[in-house]
Structure 1
Amino acid sequence: MPKKSSPPMDAERRAEARRRARLQAQGRPGEEGEEQDEVEAAPTRRPSTSMVQRLFPPAAPLPGKPDPLAGFTYSGRLRPVVSSLWLIPRNLLAGVVMGVLWAAAYIVTIQYASSMVGSIASFASFGALVAAGWIGWQRPWLYGFVAAVIGYVIYTIYVIIALAGNPALNQPGATTQAALFLFTNGVLQAGIGALAGFYGGYLRRRMADPTA
């Protein structure tokens, strides 16, 4: 003769059946649905990024290229700065050679400002910065920035030599105004270099992977 289940057991089974029925009606059959809801409800924390990383995010890896920071072991608070200094000498073609080309084109642009030669040189100077980002696949914006800084240092030396002994610099405040112009223009060119380099790296990634 079969044993009758106790009333408490029947009550628990009925309660469990009602709970499962409610979950099924809500489209969440079983405990897996509850666990999934708890995971979805948990707040996700976004990793904190600096302003520089937001403006110039790391470049996506190119097909067939190794990790740009392979062999770099520093993990301190200044990792972005130290890694940039570590990367610069590892691609001198992007930073130094493109910087020299930029300086030559920029000097021609200034000397022939109102001619076709100056216009062509202006495009060439910007193209050198874009090429720095294209060649410097490890960190495109960085190499565009470095090329602009190196090129502008060369241009500044050229200006100092060209203006040496110029009577106009003997006027009161003329030297200060010239130095202020060189500084502000240098900051502007460095910013343009970073943007142009970033664009060059973007073009290379797009051509390597159109879906990126």
Structure 2
Amino acid sequence: MDYNGSDTVPGPRAEDHLPHTAQAAAKIVIVGGFGVGKTTMVGSVSEIKPLTTEETMTQAGIGVDDDFGSPSKTATTVAMDFGRIRISDELVLYLFGTPGQERFWFLWNRLFEGALGAVVLLDTRRIEVSYDVMGRLEERGVPFVVAVNTFPDAPRYPMAELRQALDLTPDIPILECDARRRASSRDVLLTLVRFLHALHLTGALT
């Protein structure tokens, strides 16, 4: 995809600079299993050229990293992805995409530090992967929303069934998204911001 190209950026661009009206910033982590679309979401929504730590998948990964039916996937995140988006003139979100392979999950705790909230990306072909992901967020006390990435060949389920399968409490938002599309990814982040605001109003988030 374009944001993963090797084009060099000659210097700071206008969109790289924060607006003078920015008054608040929040760290958001995007988590999920291997190949669920975390790098794609960061790249689609970031206003700056994303920082990625992707490496080419090699024969050494056979039997360790599964492409889960995605033979076109040739690279994988080994540390993190980073991007930035302005939600409003006053609020800026810094986005950190985590590596999906379990062998890199030891990096997650460091990435979770200082995170105000999280997006859990879900692939309905591998729902079980999300249990450990959400468990780690709950252990760290990081509020999250669940975004179901709509892969073309993935089964579709009613949101109520997915909520039950994931054992989500009624207050945790769950919604569909297309991580390739900026507007869809932005809607997910807006849902998270509204959720965090609601938690703050109830005193559940300080």
- TM-score band by shorter chain is under 0.3
Give the TM-score normalised by structure 2: 0.23
- Greater share of residues in strand: 2
TM-score (norm 1): 0.22
Is the helix fraction higher in 1 or 2? 1
> Higher Cα Rg: structure 1 or 2?
1
